Chains A and B, each alone.
Chain A
Amino acid sequence: MTRNVLPVMTVVCAIFALWYGAAIWLNAPWAYDKATRTGEVLTTQTLIADTWSQKKPKLPAPHQVASEIWDTTVEKKITSKRSLIYHSWITLSATLLGFALGTGLGIALAVGIVYNRTMDMSVMPWVIASQTIPILAIAPMIIVVLNAVGISGLLPKAMISMYLSFFPVVVGMVKGLRSPDAMQLDQMRTWNASPTQTFWRLRLPSSMPYLFTSLKIGMAASLVGAIVGELPTGAIAGLGARLLAGSYYGQTIQIWSALIMAAALAASLVAIIGLIQRVTLKRMGMA
């Protein structure tokens, strides 16, 4: 663990150094342009100072993004429309609802596939095929169509999240439910266990490691779904809306802060699942 800290820190520092350097390089044309108009001569120092503090830079410097995030999370009231926490919560609620629906659907399908041969042969290929379709392409249509029937707000976004997150769960659960080998299944039979008992006592517990791995992928996917689902609503609320509004008005700092927020959200959600996984598997004696 500690062996990895130094390399990771080095890489992270290198990324920040590159970022600062790129900010100078990308923002310099605008700084020079401004200087020639006012007739100033830019020294290296003023150039750097200018490129790191522009209002609408091509690439904002890390500290600009950090201060924007600080400004919109801590300084603003949570109920304010300008608070990033307000927007994050809207995206998060759609993500969680979609994730819950997707996990439920995924587990149900997996149980059906494992226990019903017809379903295995007919549904499974289509579940796989459904993922080769770029489903996010349908996202704006789902939103607009459901809006036309009067369903708006959380549910349409959650449905897109659900669609993206059910697939990893199906694949992982099918693999997990089939992971007990023939000897273990025979053992259950010698104990005269009913199919239900075999399911609850053997198949389900042994599928848990697979389930948690899938949940992590599914969670990240459903956040992407929720963000993309917010794009076609015309930028009202949510992290996706912040991205879209930022791109309309050239507010690059706003885009970057929404992006960092989304990344932090994804990372913490996955970390929470990882924590639950550790505790659960330890209690079950599997880790």
Chain B
Amino acid sequence: MMWLFFAFGIWALGWWANTRLAALPRTRVTALAVPVIFGLTLIAVWEGIVRGFEISAILLPAPSMIAVRFAASTAILWEDFVQTVIKGALSGYVIGCGSAFLVAILVDRFDFLRRGLLPVGNFVAALPVIGMAPILVMWFGFDWHSKAAVVVVMVFFPMLVNTVQGLADSSAMQRDLMRTYAAGYWTTLLKLRLPAAMPFIFNGLKIASTLALIGAIVAEFFGSPIRGMGFRISTSVGQLALDLVWAEIVVAAIAGSAFYGVVALIERAVTFWHPSQRN
């Protein structure tokens, strides 16, 4: 009962603090503090409810329990992280986005390809490509190569579609201006169209960053060596070791947010001129 009051109290306190903060003029501090307070109250309420209702650890472990488990099994978590994120997701991301970028330039060069490949690409981007996972695991074996292949397939089309769209973004007048400067195709591409395409390219890169992690983890459900985040999650669920599962999820969350954050930071540095980056 005490814990339930605690949870309710924290929630009320957090909400009250946030209402007060939100009423203040918006600054960098309040913009950061409000979501942080909200997140912390969520964790506190979770802890309080799990303890208050005495929910079994098999259903939902308390945050404190997850934290203890996290600290105790950093070696396993690191091994899984390297296997899934560094080897599987990251290499697939680099190969997939890189090849999509090159194909996009090729597609942009030939209008016939653009009119043909773009509708097909748009179509494929909306399909449940993740279903390719069992096939690719069969082709490339159980180790990280097949996970990288799944990631390549998943990120290729969103990246392609975004890049092609971005390359078409410069206006006819800007292109004419380049022509009056006697700029050839490659100069125009490098000096005008690629910079103009950057917001779109980064949009594709951001979408791909979340897809990459999902692809690598889900592909492990179809077979993997005895390490990796997907493997650990599916076996630990079977053993009802939910605290370890949640520890993996925390790692996945941190890795996913960090990945997205890094891409967003690079975007800010590269496309500082774009209206969406200026406040």
Contacts and interface: CB of A to CB of B under 8 A. Distances in A.
Contacts of A26: 139
Contacts of B223: 247
Interface of A: 3-4, 6-12, 15, 26, 58, 117-118, 120-126, 129, 131-138, 140-141, 144-145, 148-149, 216-217, 220, 223-224, 227-228, 231-232, 239, 243-244, 246-247, 250, 252, 255-256, 258-259, 262-263, 266-267, 270
Given A121-B31, A122-B35, A145-B242, A136 B217 contact: yes
A136 B222 CA distance: 14
21 contacts: A7-B117, A10-B112, A118-B15, A121-B30, A121-B31, A122-B37, A132-B210, A133-B256, A136-B218, A137-B217, A137-B248, A140-B237, A141-B249, A216-B126, A220-B127, A224-B128, A231-B221, A244-B221, A247-B135, A252-B135, A267-B123
B216 to A, nearest CB: 8
Q: Is the interface of B mostly helix, strand, loop or mixed?
A: helix
Interface residues of B, number: 63
B149 interface: no
A255 B136 CA distance: 11
Contact of B257 (A117, A121, A129, A135): A129
Interface of B: 15, 18-19, 21-23, 30-31, 34-35, 37-39, 42, 58-60, 112-117, 119-120, 123, 126-128, 130-135, 137-139, 209-210, 213-214, 217-218, 221-223, 229-230, 233-234, 237-238, 242, 245, 248-249, 252-253, 256-257, 259-260
Contact of A4 (B18, B119, B126, B242): B119
B242 A247 contact: no
Q: Is the interface of A mostly helix, strand, loop or mixed?
A: helix
Contact of B59 (A8, A137, A148, A262): A148
B237 A232 contact: yes
Nearest to B60: A145
A62 to B, nearest CB: 14
Listed from nearest, the 10 A-B pairs whose CB atoms lie closest are A7-B116, A247-B134, A122-B38, A11-B116, A125-B35, A7-B115, A121-B34, A132-B256, A133-B253, A118-B22
B166 to A, nearest CB: 18
B214 A136 contact: yes
B115 A262 contact: no
B134 A255 contact: yes
A8 B132 contact: no
B82 to A, nearest CB: 17
